[in-house]
Structure formats: structure tokens, C-alpha cells
Amino acid sequence: MNQYDIVKPMISLTDALIVAFFLFVMLFMGLRQRCRSKDAPNYLLGGRALTLPAFIATTVSTWYGGILGVGEYAWSYGIANWLVFGVPYYVGAILFALLLSRRARASEVLSIPHRFEQYYGKKAAICAGILIFLTTVPGAYMLIMGTILGLSFGIGSSLGILATALFVVIYLWRGGFNAVVRTDALQFALMFGGFIVLSLWLLIGYGTEPLSTLPATHLEPTGGQSIGSILIWYIIALSTLAEPNFFQRAYAAKTPEIARKGLFISVGFWIFFDAMTTLCGLYARALLPNLTTPLHAFPALAAKVLPIGLVGLFFAGLLATVLSTLDSNLFTTATTLGRDLWPQNFCEKVDIQSRTRISLIVGAIIASAIALLSDSVVKIWEIFGSMSAASLLIPILSSYYPKFRMSNRGAFILMLTGCSVTILWFIVKKVSDELIFGMRPLIAGMIAAILCYLIDQIRIKLNANHPWV
């Protein structure tokens, strides 16, 4: 048994029943969505018919799967939570809206590897597919779900992880992308509803007096950390421009304008939600200063201050926040495996819907296995996330701006180099416990990628007669 194997419930039986009812409604909504057409755009992208309200609900809710980590960070560092996990990603989302959203929708492709295949060839597409698969496998979110289920029902997180995998596969199996979108609408309402209730309860019932007991650093912008450790997140947030779920929703939007406008509106919702999570994190530190497991800051705070019934609503909101990201990532994982990485000569007569469904099971098994290796989940997520951002960002931007487009060979070499340098930095850090030149792996990988891009552009200029070889 590990530190996440919760066996004692934190909430009452009444609240646990409320959480169970939410899960039942989620399953019912997911199973009601049935994709009758077996062609790829319908099952993978809902027929490219995503309206503005649906786009906003699914985009906003998908972005917050690590809600327990947000609570832990806010409990530990105060308002720095907003500057680290909020502002950098608003900037990234706005850049995506300005630079890529309309172009992505107009491209009429099904996935990022599909785009790479069109512009950089099959090898680059497979490389991109592998990176996206590794990045989107939702092992960390499986672990968080197992933790919340353990706190709710008094079961071990291992059982919670397996139950989550089965639960998500069942409701995604039938409806595909439409099931993700429909359930995201309920999850959007619950995640905001839960934190609105908790925030108002704290402000009205406790006032601001408890906040006067906070450590002084909790009200400082950096939370007592160095400026450098804060600014690094603004570089890491550039990975938003290579975020598969953003692209998937842009591809699925009814029009290019919906994709662009929807992201701008989504940023407003994220600002509001981050304000609530930061506020609740501050109250958690003030009211629970001796909390032994900061990861449980939000659920422990709700269990302490809310009455029976509202605790169940808040826990349902936590589950909704995690599930909205988990199901989106698992479906992206399945799409990548079923469409982009499926061997050409393997079961050629199997349609895209069946391949994606098979891939849902494979992805859920892999995610569950990663989650069960709880001591490694965060590190694995960090490694693959850094590799993906360093390797995909420049080729993606290049593919949408012809003036800056790379060659097929250049894009492939850049991706391999970005991956290799990032992995090397992680290995050296693991062995020596030091960073080479003081640079984080993602930064090193991005510098290597930029150098590869510049060399490729020089080669293209020198070989002007054959610029896209």
C-alpha cells in the first residue's frame, strides 16, 4: 500500500451518495451519445459541429485535471498559484487563439500527426504521434481520480484507478468525441458550482480574519520563491501552442471564428476559476495550517467547513474537474493510436471507429499501469511533457506559416534532436542531481530545436531550387 491508498472516507454517507449519483448521471449522459456514422470526422470530431457554448464548456473544463496539485501549490505558496498556474497559460491560450485557432480549423485535418503527414511526411507524423501518445496518456489524472474516490468511498486508490478506467472507457466507447463534449457540459457546471459554493461559504461564514494568520510570503507574488522559478513557467506555458486538446477542439469547431472567439472567452472563465482556487487555497492554509498532506487541501477544507450535502456537491465538482481532463486526454490518446499510429497493414478492414475503441482500452490499461506506479507518475508526466513541447512547437507553427516552413528532413531531425537533448538533461539531472548549465530539460530541448530550425532554414535558402526536399 502506498501513500495514495486511502482506506478511510473523508465524507459522510449522505455526501458519498451524492458523489455516486453524479457518477451515475455522468455514465448515463455518456451512454446516451451514440455516433451512428463510422467515418473519422464524426466519431473523432463530432462532425466538426462544435458550437460556441459547447466549445467553451469543453475547453474550459478540460484544462484543470490537476486540481489537487493546484490546491497543494496554493496551500504551500499562496497567491503565487495564480502567477504560476494561471497567468502563463492565459498568455499561451491567447497566443494560440491569435496564431493558430482559425488556421487549425481551416486546415480540415483530424489530428496534429495528420497535419505533419501532409507537410513533413510519414516519418515525422509517426514521431509526432508517439510524442502525443506519451504526453496525453492520462496516468496522473487516473491517480488523482483514485485519490478522490478513496477520500469519498473509503476504498484504496488502486481500486479507484481500475474503476475509473472502466468507467471512462464505457461512456467514451459509444459516443466518441460527442460523449466527451456532452459530459464536459455537466462537468463545467459542477466544477464552477462546487468552488463558487465553497468560496462564498468561506467569505460569508469566516470573513477575511483567518487570512491575517497566513505566512507573509503567501501574499507575495512569488510566494517566497525566486523570480527565476516563477518566470520559468512562462516559458513552459508556451507548450500550450502544441497542446493536442486545443487543436482537437479547434478542428471540431463549427467555424474558424468559433475556435478563435471561444478561446478568448475561455480565458475569462479560467481567470475566474483561478481566483476561486487561489482564495480557497489561502483559506486552507489559514484554517488547516498543520495539514499533513497538502495534496488534500481542497477536500480537507470542504470537509471541515461545509455542511453535509454541500460537501458531496464539492467532491462531485472535484471529480468533474478531473474527469473532464481525463476523458479528453484518453480520447486523444485513443485517436492518436487508432488513427495515427495504427500499422498500415494490420487489420486493414477495421474502420476508424473500431480502431479508436480498441485504442481506448489499450490507452486505459497503460494509463492505469502508470497511475499504479504512483511514485513515478509526476516525473513521467514532466519528462514526456517536456519532450513533446520541445519537439512539436516549432514544426507545428512552421506548418501553418508557409514563409517559415521546414523541410521534411529538417522537421524530423528537429523532433529527434529535441527529444534526445531533453532526455539527456533529465538523465544527467537524475544521476548528478544537477542541471547542465543550470538549464531545465525543456529549455535545453527548445534551444536545440531552435538551432535545428535555423540550420534547416539556412539549408533551404542555399538550396533554393529544391526548398521542400
Reported as a single tens digit per residue, the pLDDT across 283-308 is: 999 999 999 888 889 999 999 999 99
Residue 381: predicted pLDDT: 61
Residue 465: predicted pLDDT: 53
Q: Which CATH number fits domain 13-372: 3.40.50.150, 3.30.1360.30, 3.20.20.80, 1.20.1730.10?
A: 1.20.1730.10
For residue 380, pLDDT beyond 80: no
Please state, for a pLDDT cut of 70, what percent of the chain lies above it. Answer: 92
Residue 20: predicted pLDDT: 93
Residue 382: predicted pLDDT: 67
Task: Tell which wins on pLDDT, 365 or 31.
Answer: 365
Q: How confident is the model at residue 31 (pLDDT cuts 50, 70, 90)?
A: confident
Tell which residue, 298, 387, 289, 247, has the closest CA to residue 71. 298
Q: How confident is the model at residue 348 (pLDDT cuts 50, 70, 90)?
A: low
Residue 278: predicted pLDDT: 95
Sequence length of the chain is 469
Residue 346: predicted pLDDT: 65
Residue 308: predicted pLDDT: 94
**Please, what sign has the CA dihedral across residues 306, 312, 318, 320?**
negative
Residue 445: predicted pLDDT: 92
Q: How confident is the model at residue 375 (pLDDT cuts 50, 70, 90)?
A: low
Q: Dump pLDDT digits (tens) for 208-231.
A: 999 999 999 999 888 887 787 777
Ranges of CATH 1.20.1730.10 domains, the chain: 13-372
Residue 434: predicted pLDDT: 81
For residue 166, pLDDT beyond 90: yes
Mean pLDDT, the chain, integer: 88
Q: Dump pLDDT digits (tens) for 232-267.
A: 778 778 888 888 989 999 999 999 999 999 999 999
Task: Tell which wins on pLDDT, 64 or 6.
Answer: 64
| pLDDT (mean) for 189-201 | 96
Residue 59: predicted pLDDT: 94
For residue 376, pLDDT beyond 50: no
Rounded Cα–Cα distance for residues 56 and 266 (Å):
6
Tell which residue, 94, 125, 115, 121, has the closest CA to residue 399. 115
Q: How many CA atoms lie within 13 A of 332 on its CB side?
A: 30
For residue 174, pLDDT beyond 50: yes
Cβ(65)–Cβ(141) below 8 Å: yes
Q: By mean pLDDT, which of 15-24, 195-204, 365-374 is the weakest?
A: 365-374
Q: How confident is the model at residue 353 (pLDDT cuts 50, 70, 90)?
A: confident
Q: How confident is the model at residue 466 (pLDDT cuts 50, 70, 90)?
A: low
| pLDDT (mean) for 38-64 | 87
Q: How confident is the model at residue 469 (pLDDT cuts 50, 70, 90)?
A: very low
Largest interatomic CA distance in the chain: 73
For residue 368, pLDDT beyond 70: yes
HEC profile of the chain: CCCCCCCCCCCCHHHHHHHHHHHHHHHHHHHHCCCCCCCHHHHHHHHHCECHHHHHHHHHHHCCCCHHHHHHHHHHHCCHHHHHHCHHHHHHHHHHHHHHHHHHHHCCCCCHHHHHHHHHCHHHHHHHHHHHHHHHCCHHHHHHHHHHHHHHHCCCHHHHHHHHHHHHHHHHHHHCHHHHHHHHHHHHHHHHHHHHHHHHHHHHHHCCHHHHHCCHHHHCCCCCCCHHHHHHHHHHHHHHHHCHHHHHHHHHECCHHHHHHHHHHHHHHHHHHHHHHHHHHHHHHHHCCCCCCHHHHHHHHHHHHCCCCHHHHHHHHHHHHHHHHHHHHHHHHHHHHHHHCCCCCCCCCCCHHHHHHHHHHHHHHHHHHHHHCHHHHHHHHHHHHHHHHHHHHHHHHHHHCHHHCCCHHHHHHHHHHHHHHHHHHHHHHHHHCCCHHHCCHHHHHHHHHHHHHHHHHHHHHHCCCCCCC
Please state, for a pLDDT cut of 90, what percent of the chain lies above it. Answer: 55
Q: How confident is the model at residue 56 (pLDDT cuts 50, 70, 90)?
A: very high
Task: Tell which wins on pLDDT, 272 or 442.
Answer: 272
Q: By mean pLDDT, which of 198-207, 296-305, 432-441 is the weakest?
A: 432-441
**Predicted model pTM:** 0.88
- Tell me the residue type at 152: S
Q: Dump pLDDT digits (tens) for 57-114.
A: 999 999 887 888 889 889 999 999 898 888 989 999 999 999 999 999 998 888 999 9
